[in-house]
Amino acid sequence: MSRWRRSVDELIAGRQRYQKECERAQNALSRVTSCFQQLVASLGSSADSSYLREEIDETRALAHRICSGLSHCLLHLLSACDSAPIAVEDRQASERLWVLFLSVVENFLCDLQKAKDLIGQFPLTQRSNRCSLVNTGRLLALPCSL
């Protein structure tokens, strides 16, 4: 096998490894953002606590780290598609990963906004406002008498 052919085969194999790494990161991001969504659903409920808020913050930070790394990987992968001739299937797979990434990030941003709003509505730091956690699930205009 010629040196040129071997180097092309190595490039293709490296690109496929890189794409598999992006797919694994995409799966991890989907799992972490789903976990974040479940944690946010508990804000303002009887399960709300400082421990839940810490879990939400840690999960948010993990999702941010995965997003940053995955966006870097995907941009590198897609720019390699532009600079080197590759198979149409490989390019389509890379573009599909990019679209999935954007979809997950958009949902994550919506969940972040929801978390911000709920944390603002149900503060844990104000003792006088703790009764709002009891009235979860119902919109009450009546004052709480605890």
Vertex 91: Cα angle to 105 and 86 (nearest 5): 150
C-alpha distances out from residue 77 to 4, 127, 131, Å? 22, 51, 51
d(CA 104, CA 26): 9
**Structural domains of the chain, ranges and CATH numbers in brackets:** 3-134 (1.20.58)
Averaged pLDDT for residues 24-31: 96
Question: Is residue 11 scored above 90 in pLDDT?
Answer: no
Q: Which of 16-20, 37-41, 127-131 has the lowest mean pLDDT?
A: 127-131
Vertex 15: Cα angle to 89 and 23 (nearest 5): 75
C-alpha distances out from residue 98 to 83, 95, 107, 122, 146, Å? 17, 5, 14, 36, 51
C-alpha distances out from residue 28 to 9, 20, 31, 35, 41, Å? 29, 12, 5, 11, 20
Q: How does pLDDT run across 55-83, given as a tens digit for each residue? A: 999 999 999 999 999 999 999 888 876 66
Q: How does pLDDT run across 80-105, given as a tens digit for each residue? A: 766 666 677 888 888 999 999 999 99
d(CA 141, CA 127): 19
The pTM assigned to this predicted structure is: 0.75
Q: How far is CA 10 from the centre of its chain?
A: 32
Q: 């598999």: which residue's tokens?
A: 20
Take residue 40 and report the two structure tokens written for it: 């946010």
Q: 């906004």: which residue's tokens?
A: 113
Q: Which amino acid is at 99?
A: V
Averaged pLDDT for residues 14-38: 92
What torsion, rounded to 10 degrees, do the Cα atoms 113, 117, 118, 120 define? 140
